[in-house]
């Protein structure tokens, strides 16, 4: 299974949502921490964290 570096994930989210990488990085780290706290299988944690950050940023711009 190929994994993508957190830096690349943060950069892609920041670029696609037109947000600062520092903000996205903090949000991503928080989402990872939340998911890791309860996860039994860690394989999809980065995917779910990235999805949460994207949705949160998109909902901010939609309002």
Q: How many CB atoms lie within 10 A of CB 23?
A: 15
In terms of DSSP H, where are the helices of 1-63? 6-17, 21-38, 45-62
Neighbours of 52 (CB within 10 A): 17
The pair phi, psi for residue 24, each rounded to 5°, is: -65, -40
Q: What is the pLDDT of residue 63?
A: 62
pLDDT tens digit string along 3-55?
Answer: 789 999 999 999 999 999 999 999 999 999 999 999 999 999 999 999 999 99
Distance (Å, rounded) from C-alpha 42 to C-alpha 20?
27
Half-sphere exposure of 59 (CA within 13 A, CB side): 6
């Amino acid at each position: 299974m190929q994994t993508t570096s957190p830096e690349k994930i943060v950069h892609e989210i920041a670029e696609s949502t037109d947000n600062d990488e520092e903000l996205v990085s903090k949000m991503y780290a928080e989402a990872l921490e939340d998911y890791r706290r309860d996860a039994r299988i860690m394989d999809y944690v980065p995917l779910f964290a990235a999805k949460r950050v994207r949705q949160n940023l998109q909902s901010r711009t939609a309002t």
